[in-house]
Amino acid sequence: MKVGIIGAGPRGVLLTSQLFNQYKYHSDQTSPLSITLFDPYGIGGRVWRTDQSDELIMNSAADQITLFTDASVNMSSKVYDGPSLFEWAKSVEANRYLDSNGYSADVIASAAQLQINGYAPRVLFGAYIKWFYQDLIKQQPTEVSTSVMKSQVMGLTYDADHKPVIKTNDGTYPFDKVIMSLGQQDNYLSDEEQKLASYAQQNALTYIAPTHPGDADLSDIPAGEPAIIRGLGLSFIDYISELTLGRGGHYMQNEDGSLFYQPSGREPRIIAGSGRGIPYYPKPINEKGYGECDVPKFLTKENIQKNSTDGKISFDKFMELLLLDLKLVFYKLTINDKYPYKSASKFETEFLANDDKQAVLKQFGFAEEDVFNWDYIINPFKDVQSIGTEDYQSVLINWMNGEINDSLKGSKTGPLAASRDLLRDFRPAFRQMLIDHCFSNQDLVEKFWGQLDSTINFLIMGPPVVRSKELSALIRSGVVTVLAPGMQVKGQDGWFVTAAPKRNTDTFRSATLIEARVPKADLDITANPVLESLVDAKLARTHQVEVNDQSVGLNAVDVDSNTDQLLYASGAGQPDIYVWGVPLDGLRYVTNAAPQPGVNDANLQTADRLAAEVLGLPVAENVEMA
């Protein structure tokens, strides 16, 4: 059998591993197996390539990242166990590998100094992927051959025998089965983005469209001049890291543990903002051990079923159950933190048992500043209507420093940090609800994907807390200025001009505009040539749902939800082409997370299932597809 894998990032490599595993341990597999991975960046793919700046760090703690399976994973092949990224980085083998493969002294030192809850440079994860693949190839069964083609796939079609054919600029390659393991992709510019890009060209300005920050060329951004950055999420953090640390600046620690930024003089003056006007919450210090993952006490399958009508739960009831889980953890830890004469265990018992939750809260007498207020958590400055930019910096720093202190307490200790962290632990519950179609289509489109997904990203997909501490220092130093909520950008008088007009009359102009966001998966506007070719040939379509008698696209590539086999534009299945990962975002929940050890990780389950499907072998039951 000949298998083609498009994408050699973590998913492509995981799939290769599980193909080996399934083939090796099923004695009836006697015919040769040929595997070819296609990726212009080679093993590791685009995001984790090893030639990017080592100032760019990961967003998951190193001990929570793996490429190996373990006993927790629901799969039909044998466990292929091995070290997490943290365990590998600290090993003699890693040191030898990094040194012999020409990695810089800084990367080698980063690996040696990595803490169990630390955040590794992305370069180091790229090295881990390459090492994993090389180690895998050493164990390749004799009947299996594997190769890597560093080529961009330009098309995917069928030959006269209806076998899938991968097309690159170098030729065409027929296969029996093809699996698309694509990661982050670029999209065509929106009308507004195209207008700004054209304006930049006409006026000799610099416009950096949405892309992966590691791919952006920032060398032409002048020192000392203003540079506008739109977006305050993870890409924003990457850009300011490259424009400060990457230009020779450094941080020193004050006596109170906060940071002070010492500029190099080569930084631009960064003017940043977004619609929300608030940087993402910091990621708390991880205190959870191997395989430790909280499960809902209120958002249980039983409670969902009990509160459903015809299999559907109202979104308001779903949020009520979810927030009860968050409140339980928040108030328990608030008691531990600030109310030494009250019992957190007694509170938990009564909060779980008493239907009148407000009565329990009143009984325990929480101060006003210790009340869990969801509206203010998701919009901390909802009451700030009019404020000058300078005053906004003070308000923002005070809020940031409070959240930094809470996050430094840890994911099992900080009251809000721990309750926010539940949203990460509850991903399996959210995924199961999507699989079970627990929401009406209207609630799914308008409320779950349209509102809650963005809110959850704001709450739990922020940077490591050290990056938030650095941002606080940059704002205090004047290197970064954050606009009040409601940022707007336009071209005017030969410049880019930005303001938050609903909050104040302050305006800023610059010759540089950076769009600090990674393009979302969207089959309708994708610039990925293989996805484009599939759409043009009617071999793929966007996943649609019916809302008020109208079809609404969820942006995801449409697949058979049980097997991940690609669907034709007509809706018929294609048994020889599979898709998984980021292109299914919208059909699946959180498709870009790295595999985590000990928690029955969905990526590891999916890789095993796809490998079994491809080889025609029995699959595990109740697999959670990623």
What is the pLDDT, as a whole number, of residue 543? 94
pLDDT band, very low/low/confident/very high, at 416 (cuts 50, 70, 90)? very high
Nearest CA to 65 out of 601, 460, 591 is that of: 601
Per-residue pLDDT tens over the stretch 106-115: 999 999 999 9
pTM of the model: 0.95
32: its two tokens: 């040769």
443: its two tokens: 């609630």
Mean pLDDT, the chain, whole residue set: 95
Decide: 204 and 32 in contact? Cβ < 8 Å. no
Q: What percent of the chain has pLDDT over 90?
A: 92
Decide: 463 and 60 in contact? Cβ < 8 Å. no
pLDDT above 70: residue 99: yes
pLDDT band, very low/low/confident/very high, at 27 (cuts 50, 70, 90)? low
Cβ partners under 8 Å of residue 113, min gap 6 = none
Decide: 453 and 327 in contact? Cβ < 8 Å. no
pLDDT above 80: residue 30: no
pLDDT band, very low/low/confident/very high, at 626 (cuts 50, 70, 90)? confident
What is the pLDDT, as a whole number, of residue 418? 98
**Could you give the CA distance from residue 431 to residue 436 in angstroms, rounded to a whole number?**
9
What is the pLDDT, as a whole number, of residue 224? 96
**Could you give the CA distance from residue 488 to residue 88 in angstroms, rounded to a whole number?**
45
What is the pLDDT, as a whole number, of residue 185? 86
**Helices 92-100 + 105-113 axis angle, to 10:** 170
What is the pLDDT, as a whole number, of residue 555? 85
Residues 379-400 have a mean pLDDT of 94
What is the pLDDT, as a whole number, of residue 583? 93
What is the pLDDT, as a whole number, of residue 491? 97
Burial bucket for residue 590 (CB in 10 Å: 0-12, 13-18, 19+): middle
Go through 148-172 and write b for each residue having 16 or more CB atoms within 10 A of its CB, e for each that does not.
Answer: bbebbbbbbeeeeeeebbbbbeeee
Decide: 285 and 244 in contact? Cβ < 8 Å. no
What is the pLDDT, as a whole number, of residue 103? 95
Write the CA distances from 486 to 76, 99, 500, 538, integer angstroms: 51, 48, 5, 40
Per-residue pLDDT tens over the stretch 282-341: 999 999 999 999 999 999 999 999 999 999 999 999 999 999 999 999 999 999 999 999
Q: Which helix (H) or strand (E) holds 306?
A: helix 301-306
pLDDT above 80: residue 29: no
End-to-end CA separation in angstroms for the chain = 25
How do 573-579 and 177-180 pair as beta strands? parallel
**Could you give the CA distance from residue 597 to residue 72 in angstroms, rounded to a whole number?**
8
**Could you give the CA distance from residue 449 to residue 429 in angstroms, rounded to a whole number?**
15
Q: Cβ of 440: how many Cβ atoms within 10 Å?
A: 18
Q: Which residue has the tokens 């992927």?
A: 129
Nearest CA to 182 out of 430, 519, 537 is that of: 519
- Amino acid making up residue 89: A
What is the pLDDT, as a whole number, of residue 184? 86
**Could you give the CA distance from residue 609 to residue 76 in angstroms, rounded to a whole number?**
8
Q: Cβ of 357: how many Cβ atoms within 10 Å?
A: 18
Rg (the chain; Cα; Å):
25
Q: Which residue has the tokens 């910096």?
A: 393
In the chain, the domains with their CATH numbers are 2-82+122-185+559-615 (3.50.50.60), 194-280+480-515 (3.50.50), 301-460 (no CATH)
**Could you give the CA distance from residue 179 to residue 17 in angstroms, rounded to a whole number?**
14
pLDDT band, very low/low/confident/very high, at 372 (cuts 50, 70, 90)? very high
Per-residue pLDDT tens over the stretch 582-615: 999 999 999 988 999 999 999 999 999 999 999 9
Residues 224-250 have a mean pLDDT of 97
